[in-house]
Amino acid sequence: MKYGIIRRVEHNGGAVFVELESLSNGLVCYRRPYFRESNIESVRYENMNLLRIPLLEGEEKLKLLSYRSNKI
């Protein structure tokens, strides 16, 4: 990441949470293409101790999103 700091990697590297310097308190989540294509309509970021809701990059076809059991 040229402009951000990787804060965590989840799901065996399928999801990467990056803090961008250009966004104050901005956390962005990227899913690797393989993981996105294998489940294009749903994402579950449950029990990850997330403190804030990240922006989702490249998830235009998403229909189900779960942040259950986090610290948001």
Q: Tell me the residue ranges of DSSP E strands in 1-72.
A: 4-10, 15-20, 27-31, 42-44, 55-57, 64-66
Q: Is 18 left (phi over 0), alpha (psi -120 to 50) or beta?
A: beta
Q: 3-state class of 38 per DSSP?
A: helix
Q: 3-state class of 71 per DSSP?
A: coil
Per-residue pLDDT of the chain (72 residues; tens, 9 = 90+): 567 888 888 877 788 888 887 777 688 999 988 889 999 999 999 998 988 899 998 999 999 999 999 998
Distance, C-alpha 28 to centroid of its chain? 6
Entry pTM: 0.75
